[in-house]
Structure formats: C-alpha cells, structure tokens
Amino acid sequence: MDPLIRMKEAHLKGLIPDDVFDLVLKRFPIIVNGINRIQKASGLLYPTAYVEPSIVISSSNPNSYEFGILFARTLPLFFDDKFHIVIQISAPLIAYGLIGTIHAILAHEFLHSLELIRKISKMDLVSDEITGNLFESVYADETRLFESKAVFQDRTLLDHITKRFPAGFRDHKLEDKVVKFWLKQNLPKINIALDANTVKLSAESLSKIKFDPVFLERLGQLEQKSAKIRKKKSY
C-alpha cells in the first residue's frame, strides 16, 4: 500500500493545490522517521499508516461552535476476511506540525492500536464507550491507553508525548495554522459526530481474529508494567 495514494488521487482531482501537495510530500519523511523511531523505542512493528487528504472535524453538536480537530485516528478494518489496524494521518498535520508534535501523535495512535488489540484479544470490545462532549472524550481517551513510559524506551519521544498530551492533545499554534491555511481555504474536510468516533465490532467478527501468541505475551508484559506505573502515580 502506498501511504500517499489518497493524497495523490486528491491532487489529481484538483482537491489539493500544488503548493500544499508539494509541502506534504516534502515533509512526509518526518512520518517515516517517526514510525521508525517508535518501532525502535518499543520493539514492536507500527501498524499500516496512510495519509488522509482531509482534516477530520469532530463535534458533539452539528450546530455548536465547539469542535475538535482529529489529526490522526486508529481504524480497525476487515479486508479479505482479515483484520487490520490502520493509522489514518491527516495531511494538515504533516504540512503544518512540528516534528515533535507529529512524532507524539504517531506514538499516541500507536498506543491506541495496542489498546485496541488488548481489548479484542480479551473479547472486551463489542462496543466502545460513547461520550457526549469533547472533555469527556479526552478523559476517556487518557484513562484507557497503555502508559507511554511502559512502552517506549526513548526519553526524547517520551518528553514530546508528555508535553503534547498533558490531558488530551492541544497545540494552539498548529490548530491556528490548520484553520488559516486549510479550513479557510476550503480544502477537504470530514465532519464526524463525536459519538461516531468509536469502534463497534460484532462478537462473531471478534471470534475470527487471531493474534501472534508471542505478541500477546509481550502485550501482557506491557499491560502489567503500565499498571505498576499507574499505581505509583496514585500514591
């Protein structure tokens, strides 16, 4: 899979102007370097990733001025009767994000993928939590992820994650750039309801998914390590 295929198609259709397309291509190596860094820091393979040529906007109410920008998402897919986890990375993040921000978001989505596999392997994902507003969504997100310190052996990467995700991701400079250079230029966007950004898989689908036992053993070790770190935090 060419991770830039959807970006190239959008450019050919005239949805993405030349300057934005060239900027994303020029900065795409930041994504490659980030994925390589995360794999080295965790000792695990990164899921398949691709560039989405749109910005994803999430709101608790279509008529509300409150909205969140989802710069990346972890998506579970069934293709050819096989289960896949795909990381969707928005083009505006690549175009306007700082290197530390991009790597932190890539790492955050990697933690999401691990959590998703953990829940599926334990048949604990018939339906995910549905939350009613952005604050609740941020809180739920932070309380169910693996602890980054348990997964990554990279102090600089951990600093990036801690700085960008103190309590949910916020980067006002990046958001301002996206609004100015993407949204106000009427470049592609996807609107989703907050309660639509959830994972729903049937019990039948879950029962067909098989994971490498060695990988699940490693995941169990990371889960125990995360639990110990959380326990220390609570004291």
What is the 3 state secondary structure string of 183-216? HCCCCCEEEEEHHHCCCECCHHHHHCCCCCHHHH
Three-state SS at 118:
helix
Asked whether residue 40 is domain-assigned, the answer is yes
Asked whether residue 42 is domain-assigned, the answer is yes
Domain range for 42 is 5-224
Q: How confident is the model at residue 66 (pLDDT cuts 50, 70, 90)?
A: low
Asked whether residue 233 is domain-assigned, the answer is no
Asked whether residue 231 is domain-assigned, the answer is no
Asked whether residue 234 is domain-assigned, the answer is no
How many structural domains comprise the chain? 1
Residue 133: its pLDDT value, please?
A: 43
User: pLDDT digit string (tens) for 185-230?
Assistant: 999 999 887 655 555 666 666 677 788 899 999 999 999 999 898 8
User: pLDDT digit string (tens) for 137-168?
Assistant: 443 455 567 899 999 999 999 998 888 776 56
Residue 197: its pLDDT value, please?
A: 54
Asked whether residue 115 is domain-assigned, the answer is yes
Residue 209: its pLDDT value, please?
A: 79
CB 75 within 8 A of CB 88: yes
- Other CB atoms within a 10 A radius of the CB of residue 202 amount to 10
Residue 197 exposed, middle or buried by CB count within 10 Å (0-12, 13-18, 19+) = middle
3-state helix, strand, coil in the chain (%, to 5): 55, 15, 30
Decide if pLDDT at 132 tops 80: no
Asked whether residue 130 is domain-assigned, the answer is yes
The CA distance from 184 to 23, in Å, is 18
| β-sheet bridge partners, residue 58 | 68, 192
Asked whether residue 180 is domain-assigned, the answer is yes
Instruction: Compute the mean pLDDT over every residue in the chain, rounded to the nearest whole number.
Output: 83
Residue 47: its pLDDT value, please?
A: 94
